[in-house]
């Protein structure tokens, strides 16, 4: 429910705070007093497009804050949660600041947000209707949503079935694409795998072969060095051993002081023996090893060629071999996988169709009920000759959507004997307002929107028709908050709360003010003005009081 609207520096409004109530809230006033500015201001807070012309002359920026009371399970909470905005209590503040340049900033609960989020949240809070609105009945795309709202169709479950089907379809298309592409390269993969399996590369082999190749290139020089080193280490008069023997003979007489030296010489002797063994092994490998320089070069060339072919490092070739094997296995198993995906896709489609058919059955049943209820509302609204139809038609599969397999259109025939046609093409502006009101009185009882705003939907009607419009607005206000901008005294007479919008100030500074009417006499005076104009007669006052009493 809209609790308040705080406006600053918007067109003719300097500073204005309006506190609203539940029930039927009526705003009246002379043409040009600024009633439309109030709705424009509310629109800013709800995220409609901002224009610099709304900023009051002499001001740098315009500010509008709308306060709403929402329930714990209101759908706005989900939008706020996705945006990491915490609504700590049941009051939601929507604020918009518009600069003279036309740029605007949006806030929810004083946290900066995008205008698109502000509008998304605002759409869940208020529904605005006007005589020349471009939404609702004028847009056939909204008819299905209006019927579903009345039918209480769970759109989320059907949407989930749609998403599941489309996900399976996408997975199948992707698998078929990959399979087709894979079969085109199957022969290449098979030959490549055979080459790698035959080569059988090892991680680190390139470095080992490169080092061995360097040794083999300088085989004679290396062997000479190895032999010389071995000769030095193999001398009969090993100085380390001789030193160890000399110390060992005096160790008992020298005590523990020589123990570290003996241990060090022992380690040195052991290291020398290990070095001699390594030298001998390397020398033996170079003389009697299974590789020669030509074989090493051929092996290195083969490894590096495969690495270039697969655009990877030599050490990555074993992993590449495994990857090729897996890709070939997928090709082999592709037909089985595609069959499995096709079955899953068909099952998902059947689930969606089942859900969509259930939605269609409910739509058709509720459409018949809606037709009867709307038809009963038309006669008091001076549309007694009109006929209202809700058409639920089957769409081609290419037009199916997350909302089902149906197209919903509201059709009317405004003259006896004429064929029904789309409501946005058949009905005039005044008729459209009354059709819309009849629909909303019925549908709104089941919907989640709590606040409705009607901007001069009674334009061009009077007498009994205006009274019928007022009665339906009042009936809607029994369960919803309804804010009406009206010129019809019959509508104003039914108000639970009544405000007058007036233009004041002087020649240099004109302002718009809003005055609450609290007493029966104050309301009667305003309704008398609406009946008689500037010169209010006793008869007009009497008629105004009669309207209030009759309401």
Per-residue pLDDT at 393: 94
What whole-number distance in Å separates Cα of residue 111 and Cα of residue 93? 10
Please report how many Cα atoms fall inside a 13 Å half-sphere around the Cα of residue 526, on the Cβ side.
28
> pLDDT tens string for the chain (551 positions)?
899 999 999 888 888 899 998 899 999 988 766 777 888 889 899 998 888 888 988 889 999 999 998 888 788 888 888 888 877 678 899 999 999 888 999 999 889 999 999 998 888 888 877 654 545 667 788 889 889 888 888 888 999 999 999 999 999 998 888 777 777 777 788 888 899 999 999 999 899 888 888 777 666 666 667 777 777 776 666 777 777 777 777 777 777 777 787 778 778 778 878 877 887 777 776 665 556 778 888 889 999 999 999 999 999 999 999 998 888 887 777 778 888 899 999 999 999 999 999 999 999 999 999 999 999 988 888 888 889 999 999 999 999 999 999 999 999 988 888 889 888 788 776 777 788 888 888 887 666 667 888 887 766 677 888 888 888 889 888 888 899 888 889 999 999 999 998 887 666 677 888 899 999 999 999 999 988 877 888 999 999 999 998 87
In a domain, 366, yes or no: no
CATH of the domain at 75: 3.40.50.300
Please tell me whether residue 515 adopts helix, strand or coil conformation: strand
Yes or no: say if 107 and 113 are a contact pair by the CB < 8 Å rule: yes
Q: How many domains does the chain have?
A: 3
**DSSP structure string for 307-364:** HHHTTS-GGGHHHHHHHHHHHHHHHHHHHHHHHHHHHHHHHHHHHHHHHHHHHHHHHH
For residues 187 and 281, state if they share a domain.
yes
Among 333, 353, 368, residue at a domain's last position: 333
What is the distance between the alpha carbons of residues 448 and 450, in angstroms, rounded to a whole number? Answer: 6
191/313 same-domain check: yes
Block residue for tokens 């549908």: 443
Diameter of the chain measured on Cα atoms: 145
Same domain, 550 and 491: no
Residues forming a β-bridge with 26: 484, 498
pLDDT for position 414? 85
**352 falls within a domain:** no
- Looking at the structure, tell me whether residues 304 and 222 fall in a common domain: yes
Whole-angstrom distance, CA of residue 440 vs CA of residue 433: 10
Phi, psi torsion values for 258, nearest 5 degrees: -90, -5
* HSE, side-chain direction, 13 A CA sphere, residue 147: 29
Looking at residue 134, its pLDDT comes to 41
Question: Which pTM value belongs to this model?
Answer: 0.63
Strands of the sheet with 61-69, listed across from one edge: 13-19, 2-10, 61-69, 91-99, 104-108, 111-113
pLDDT tens per residue across span 508-532: 677 888 899 999 999 999 999 988 8
Residue 163 inside a domain? The answer is no
Q: Is residue 359 part of a domain?
A: no
| pLDDT given at position 507 | 62
Residue 235 lies in a domain: yes
Indicate whether 222 and 109 sit together in one domain.
Answer: no
Tokens of 493: 């007479």
151: how many CB neighbours lie within 10 A of its CB?
19
Q: Is residue 151 domain-resident?
A: no
Q: Are residue 493 and residue 544 in the same domain, yes or no?
A: no
Residues 498 and 522 in one domain: no
Determine the Cα–Cα distance for residues 330 and 242; give it in Å rounded to an integer. 71
**Enclosing H/E stretch for 480:** none
> Which pLDDT score, from 0 to 100, does residue 287 have?
65
Residues 127 and 192 in one domain: no
Q: Is residue 45 assigned to a domain?
A: yes
Residue 502, token pair as written in the block: 């007036």
Segments in 452-519 forming alpha helices (H):
463-476, 489-492
Alpha carbons 507 and 427: distance in angstroms, whole number? 43
| Range of the structural domain that residue 109 is part of | 1-23+30-131+456-463+486-511
Query: Do both 37 and 97 map to the same domain?
Result: yes
Q: Are residues 127 and 191 in the same domain?
A: no
Unique residue bearing structure tokens 């007493």 = 519
Residue reference for tokens 């009497």: 542
- Residues 328 and 190 reside in one and the same domain: yes
Q: Is residue 492 part of a domain?
A: yes
pLDDT at 106: 93
If we measure between CA atoms, which residue out of 67, 74, 76, 117 comes closest to residue 95?
67
Residues 87 and 192 in one domain: no
Q: Are 398 and 405 in contact (CB under 8 A)?
A: no
Q: Which of 333, 367, 401 is the last residue of a domain?
A: 333
């Amino acid at each position: 429910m809209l609790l308040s609207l705080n406006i600053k520096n918007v067109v003719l409004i300097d500073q204005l705070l309006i506190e609203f109530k539940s029930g039927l809230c009526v705003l009246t006033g002379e043409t040009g007093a600024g009633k439309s500015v109030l709705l424009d201001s509310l629109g800013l807070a709800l995220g409609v497009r901002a224009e610099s012309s709304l900023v009051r002359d002499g001001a740098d920026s315009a500010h509008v804050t709308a306060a709403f009371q929402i329930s714990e399970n209101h759908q706005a909470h989900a939008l706020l949660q996705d945006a990491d905005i915490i609504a700590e209590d049941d009051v939601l503040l929507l604020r918009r600041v518009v600069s003279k340049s036309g740029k605007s900033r949006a806030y929810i609960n004083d946290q900066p947000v995008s205008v698109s989020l502000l509008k998304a949240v605002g759409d869940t809070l208020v529904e605005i209707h006007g005589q020349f609105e471009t939404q609702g009945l004028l847009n056939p795309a909204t008819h299905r949503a209006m019927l579903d709202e009345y039918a209480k169709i769970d759109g989320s479950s059907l949407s989930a079935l749609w998403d599941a089907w489309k996900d399976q379809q996408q997975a199948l298309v992707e698998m078929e694409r990959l399979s087709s592409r894979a079969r085109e390269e199957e022969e290449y993969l098979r030959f490549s795998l055979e080459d790698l399996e035959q080569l059988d590369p090892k991680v680190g082999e390139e470095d080992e072969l490169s080092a061995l190749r360097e040794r083999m290139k300088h085989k004679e020089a290396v062997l000479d060095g190895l032999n010389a080193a071995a000769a030095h280490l193999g001398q009969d008069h090993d100085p380390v051993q001789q030193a160890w023997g000399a110390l060992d003979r005096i160790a008992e007489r020298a005590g523990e002081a020589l123990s570290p030296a003996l241990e060090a010489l022992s380690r040195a002797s052991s290291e020398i023996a290990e070095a001699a063994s390594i030298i001998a092994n390397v020398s033996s490998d170079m003389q009697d090893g299974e590789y020669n320089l030509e074989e090493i070069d051929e092996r290195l060339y083969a490894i590096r060629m495969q690495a270039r072919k697969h655009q990877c490092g030599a050490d990555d070739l074993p992993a590449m071999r495994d990857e090729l094997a897996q890709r070939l296995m997928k090709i082999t198993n592709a037909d089985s996988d595609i069959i499995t995906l096709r079955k899953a896709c068909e099952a998902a489609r059947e689930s969606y169709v089942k859900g969509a058919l259930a939605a269609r059955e409910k739509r058709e049943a509720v459409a018949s009920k809606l037709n009867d209820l709307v038809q009963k509302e038309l006669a008091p609204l001076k549309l007694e000759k009109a006929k209202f139809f809700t058409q639920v038609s089957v769409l081609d599969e290419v037009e199916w959507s997350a909302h089902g397999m149906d197209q919903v259109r509201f059709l009317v025939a405004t003259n006896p004997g004429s064929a029904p046609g789309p409501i946005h093409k058949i009905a005039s502006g005044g008729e459209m307002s009354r059709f819309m009101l009849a629909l909303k009185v019925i549908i709104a009882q089941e919907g989640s929107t709590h606040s409705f705003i009607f901007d001069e939907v009674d334009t061009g009607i009077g007498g009994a028709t205006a009274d019928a419009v007022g009665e339906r607005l009042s009936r809607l206000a029994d369960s919803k908050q309804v804010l009406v901008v009206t010129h019809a005294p019959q509508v104003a007479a039914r108000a639970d709360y009544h405000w007058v919008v007036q233009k004041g100030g002087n020649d240099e500074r004109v302002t718009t003010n809003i005055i609450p009417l609290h007493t029966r006499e104050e309301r009667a005076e305003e309704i008398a003005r609406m009946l008689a104009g500037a010169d209010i007669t006793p008869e007009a006052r009497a008629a105004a009081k009669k309207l209030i009493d009759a309401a």
